[in-house]
Structure 1
């Protein structure tokens, strides 16, 4: 066997896996943009940002490939919108988003390797509870994960878990009912989120829940909470917006009301007549990613 020239040996040793090369390119672009913005806060980095995103998108497309699953398009686009920490839509999960529009069904696809490295980045959704990052399955079962991974400018609040079976060939599947919002309280815009792990890839699908229904007992609970918060807010206004103790009570009552409402819905939903239809919706979404 012929010996490789020293230069070629050096290049072979320096080359990483496609995932490692992607992360190195991403981090280098983020660092470059950050350096420019620190030196000149009002600098226009949009051209650099777009060029770097285009390069990263090509790398992701080479790793993840096209998608032959209906109703999603075959070609995916990078799942986050900016590499600047100052911009909304930055810091999302490294993967491709397959969607025909903003409001229709969509799915984010990444690899196990990329997801593990992304999860390892310290974020409050896991650092406030643990010193070590969660495993893949644990992360995908945590509704806070989705706020940071695929949420653009809103947080996902879980309303109920939807028990589904793993589709054929999958090693993990999880589904939940939840809503994206910038504030708390009942959200009429409920979506089904389904996560499936299969063949080294992770699929995170979401679409509007067709069979979502309100639960009157939970709605009544929330309205009672609203009365309390409204009374507290009036007291706060009467203080000239100076009594921080009242404001803290007001905020705590809002959070408690939201938490109690979602706990109520989560506990009661499985007993409601509409629940099997919601589970069926989630199972049908998961099964799209089963073995062909």
Structure 2
């Protein structure tokens, strides 16, 4: 065979190969499939919320089915994952929307936990994580640190509120722990406290980690149980704030007025005292006996996150 006819056959053959290969290539991107499915389901939930139908049985069932499907899709993206001491994963999103104005602020990933729930870890892809963090930096009232990179973001309570949801309260970072990252990895660790109110002089008892590497991003917390003793210098800073707040509270309770604005003043005093205590703790902690144990615990948690 020669001449123009042979060229036409070759062109037809190439066209046939491309026509069969392109659908395969498109289907070979489970991350894009996941994002498209998530965004479509989220748009449907937002539309239902705007029309006041988010509580309808049909809408609830549709969202439950969507969440189940998204969990399967994300598992396909991340592949089979297991961690020592942690149970089977669950899809981290419990709701698709924050409210009728937009999607959920939680980090979408696979959530792992120990039986006692003392250790929790959320795993996602690095691209999903980066997109999520960029979105959180644009939230109303978001601290500037959220737009300043992972290391800075991990030092804010707002980061953990959405990255690894809890049953109540928020994670308050106290002091960064100097952990070592392996080549090609970003690793950050903080010693902090899960709290629902001004923390006062309560010592931190949880370690948080952030690890990015191998195409995955992970955020986790684990109980520290360090048995750390009080730091006298920091307690001394907290006590005047406590005394002032306690005295005002006694007066408010004695007056027994409805909606007394002084309750807000009490909270403000406690917040100021808590901030002063944490600033002292950040300065003094590296010199305390418990600090080395906290770093060791964080290193062990990171090793677990690496699958070791």
- The yes-or-no answer on 1:76 pairing with 2:92 is no
Stretches of structure 2 that go unaligned for 5 or more consecutive residues are 1-12
Q: Using a 3 Å threshold, how does the CA distance of structure 1 residues 129 and 169 change in structure 2: closer, same or farther?
A: same
Q: Using a 3 Å threshold, how does the CA distance of structure 1 residues 164 and 128 change in structure 2: closer, same or farther?
A: same
Q: Using a 3 Å threshold, how does the CA distance of structure 1 residues 291 and 29 change in structure 2: closer, same or farther?
A: closer
Report SS of the residue matched to 1:164. coil
Determine the structure 2 residue equivalent to 1:37: 49
Determine the structure 1 residue equivalent to 2:271: 255
Determine the structure 2 residue equivalent to 1:195: 210
Q: 2:294 aligns with which of 278, 285, 289?
A: 278
**Cα distance in structure 1, aligned partners of 2:219 and 2:271:** 28
CA distances 1:89-129 after superposition (whole Å, capped 9, x unpaired): x5311111122435232321111100111112245678644
Determine the structure 2 residue equivalent to 1:156: 171
For the 8 Å contact 1:215–1:265, the answer to whether it is kept is no
> Is the deviation greater in 211-220 or in 171-180?
211-220
For the 8 Å contact 2:83–2:305, the answer to whether it is kept is yes
Q: CA deviation at 1:37?
A: 2.9
Map residues 156-195 of structure 1 onto 2, 5 A cutoff: 156-166=171-181, 168-186=182-200, 187=202, 190-195=205-210
**By percentage of residues, which structure has more helix?**
2
Stretches of structure 1 that go unaligned for 5 or more consecutive residues are none
Q: 1:59 aligns with which of 63, 73, 79?
A: 73
Report SS of the residue matched to 1:193. strand
Q: 2:39 aligns with which of 27, 32, 45?
A: 27
For the 8 Å contact 1:105–1:207, the answer to whether it is kept is yes
Q: CA deviation at 1:57?
A: 0.6
TM-score, scaled relative to structure 2: 0.78
Report SS of the residue matched to 2:14. coil
> Is the deviation greater in 117-126 or in 184-193?
117-126
**Which one has a bigger Cα radius of gyration?**
2
For the 8 Å contact 1:116–1:135, the answer to whether it is kept is no
Determine the structure 1 residue equivalent to 2:257: 240
**Cα distance in structure 1, aligned partners of 2:29 and 2:155:** 28
Q: How large is the Cα RMSD of the aligned pairs?
A: 3.4
TM-score, scaled relative to structure 1: 0.82
> Is the deviation greater in 99-108 or in 278-287?
99-108
Determine the structure 2 residue equivalent to 1:96: 110
Q: Using a 3 Å threshold, how does the CA distance of structure 1 residues 37 and 242 change in structure 2: closer, same or farther?
A: closer
**Cα distance in structure 1, aligned partners of 2:19 and 2:47:** 32
Determine the structure 1 residue equivalent to 2:4: none
Q: CA deviation at 1:52?
A: 0.9
Q: 1:144 aligns with which of 152, 158, 164?
A: 158
